[in-house]
């Protein structure tokens, strides 16, 4: 797809999301949060849903979790705005930052499907249990599934702990969640480098 038609399609998707009231999150949000970053990147990052900062600024992962995510990605040479396209399972903030319901996730899924189809990422980083549940329908057990590559619809998926979980578990000791996530992100960087080499 040419850059211009990709941009047009994404702009029209953003407009549709802005007008969307398919679930009740549409009436409590202050604004819809569709994406940030580079739609031509080969890496897509999918989180759970907007928090307060995101709802205010209209961009995903810009609050404390997002800052941690950005720093961790940077430490493996990935610039989240240049080397990734960042989005969420649900585009509107759940009140009190509660987890989106199964119905809300299902209502919003066509928008995510469209984003994946347009951006066509080779690698998807799934940040947290809700991202895994929202995309794959697999529930719980991040400790077991994180760090393991999955192949899905011709793409590589890497589930990792959510950055908000890492904010609550800040130890960087070997074997701690943050250390494990850093290993996972290094793995993602290696995968992207391999894909680059084979282009």
Query: Site for ligand URA (CB under 6 A): which residue of 48, 55, 70, 184?
Result: 48
Classify strands 155-160 and 150-152 as parallel, antiparallel or unpaired.
antiparallel
Per-residue x/- mask for ligand URA, residues 137 to 156, rule CB under 6 A?
Answer: -----x--------------
Residue with tokens 């697999």: 138
Stretch that binds ligand URA, among 5-13, 74-82, 147-155, 158-166 (CB under 6 A): 158-166
Report the site for ligand SF4 in 23-52 (rule: CB under 6 A).
23, 25-26, 32
Cα–Cα distances in angstroms (integers) from residue 150 to residues 25, 118, 162, 177, in the given order: 30, 21, 18, 20
Cβ contact 123:114 at 8 Å: no
Q: Minimum distance between the CB of residue 95 and ligand URA, rounded to whole angstroms?
A: 15
Applying CB under 6 A, does 88 fall inside the site for ligand URA? yes
Q: Minimum distance between the CB of residue 189 and ligand URA, rounded to whole angstroms?
A: 20
Q: Minimum distance between the CB of residue 108 and ligand SF4, rounded to whole angstroms?
A: 3
87 CB neighbour count, 10 Å cutoff:
23
Q: Minimum distance between the CB of residue 17 and ligand URA, rounded to whole angstroms?
A: 14
Cα–Cα distances in angstroms (integers) from residue 158 to residues 8, 51, 78, 140, 171, in the given order: 29, 23, 15, 15, 22
Nearest to ligand URA of 141, 193 (CB atom)? 141
The closest of 158, 161, 155, 181 to 42, measured between CA atoms, is 155
Per-residue x/- mask for ligand SF4, residues 6 to 25, rule CB under 6 A?
Answer: -----------x--xxxx-x
Residue with tokens 């609050």: 63
Judged by the rule CB under 6 A, the positions of this chain that interact with ligand SF4 are 17, 20-23, 25-26, 32, 90-92, 104, 107-108, 111
């Amino acid at each position: 797809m040419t850059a211009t038609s990709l941009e047009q399609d994404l702009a029209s998707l953003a407009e549709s999301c802005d007008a969307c009231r398919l679930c009740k999150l549409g009436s409590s949000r202050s604004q819809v949060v569709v994406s940030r970053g580079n739609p031509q990147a080969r890496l897509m990052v999918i989180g759970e849903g907007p928090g307060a900062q995101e709802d205010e600024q209209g961009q995903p992962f810009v609050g404390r979790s997002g800052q941690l995510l950005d720093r961790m990605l940077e430490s493996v040479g990935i610039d989240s705005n240049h080397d990734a396209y960042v989005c969420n399972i649900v585009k509107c903030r759940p009140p009190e930052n509660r987890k989106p319901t199964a119905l809300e996730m299902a209502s919003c899924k066509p928008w995510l499907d469209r984003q994946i189809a347009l951006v066509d990422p080779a690698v998807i980083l799934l940040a947290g249990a809700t991202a895994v549940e929202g995309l794959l329908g697999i529930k719980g057990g991040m400790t077991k599934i994180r760090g393991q590559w999955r192949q899905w619809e011709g793409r590589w998926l890497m589930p990792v702990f959510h950055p908000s979980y890492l904010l609550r578990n800040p130890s960087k000791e070997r074997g701690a969640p943050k250390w494990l996530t850093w290993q996972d992100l290094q793995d993602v960087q290696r995968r992207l480098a391999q894909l680059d080499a084979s282009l």
